[in-house]
Amino acid sequence: MRVAGCDEVGRGPLAGPLVAAAVVLPAHGIEGLDDSKKLTRIARERLAERIHAEADVALVRIPPEDVDRLNVYKASIKAMTEAVHRLGGVEFVLSDAVPIEEMPHTALIKGDQKSASIAAASIVAKVSRDAEMRRIGERYPEFGFEIHKGYATPAHLEAIETHGVCSAHRRSFAPVKRRIEKQMRLHLEVSE
């Protein structure tokens, strides 16, 4: 039976894409897989290289504007479901707590700690998203995305207050939405 593990990263950040991965591991498995949050950046990147080389992998990226349009939960389901379909021939799915549409599946709480294939998906999704946040950080150095990856750290919140928002921000998330509303109020006051 062809079983895929899938997971997503980037549900909580105020900026950047949501990235989901689906992985079918080889029969021999891959040693060292663990919840991506428990691994160092170097360990994650090495494992991601091995996973891409030895397993079947599909990645799906949902941009910030689509996260806003769908809501983060629906974006997660969409991304994970699309990733599984891109693999093709999957008969069963193990996911990290999120249901997969139109597929026989089991949604496991803390699945990245219980299933090697979910852990593999977690690793490749995180490595992919982190690399994109570093690239976005180069484009918008004032926000420090390469450091906090878009999460609501004090430094990120301060940068939003100081610099406003950029195209990488999710406009439906409260701190970003408040800053946009503040900008609009200031603009209206100036134009009156």
Q: Is residue 87 part of a domain?
A: yes
| Residue 33 identity (one-letter amino acid) | L
Q: Which domain holds residue 70?
A: 3-139
Please indicate, yes or no, if residue 41 is contained in any of the structural domains.
yes
Residue 146 lies in a domain: no
**pLDDT, tens only, 98-117:** 888 889 999 999 999 999 99
Total of domains in the chain:
1
* Phi, psi of 118, deg, nearest 5: -70, -40
CATH number of the domain where residue 19 is located: 3.30.420.10
Confirm whether 165 is domain-assigned: no
pLDDT of residue 190: 61
Express as a percent the part of the chain with pLDDT over 90: 90
Tokens at 19, concatenated: 């990235």
Q: How far is CA 106 from the centre of its chain?
A: 20
pLDDT of amino acid 187: 67
Which of the residue ranges 16-25, 162-171, 177-186 would you say has the lowest mean pLDDT?
A: 177-186
Q: Does residue 131 carry a pLDDT above 90?
A: yes
154 located within any domain: no
DSSP 8-state secondary structure symbol assigned to residue 168: T
Does any domain span residue 181?
Answer: no
Locate all alpha helices (DSSP H) within the chain, ordered by sequence. 41-54, 64-70, 72-87, 111-114, 116-139, 145-148, 154-163, 174-191
pLDDT at 101: 82
173 domain-assigned:
no
Q: Provide mean pLDDT across the span 1-24.
A: 97
Cβ neighbours of residue 21 closer than 8 Å, sequence gap 6 or more: 6, 7, 8, 57, 58, 59, 60, 83, 120, 121, 122, 124, 125, 128
Nearest to 104 by CA among 125, 81, 82: 81
Q: Does any domain span residue 24?
A: yes
Judged by DSSP in three states, 165 sits in coil
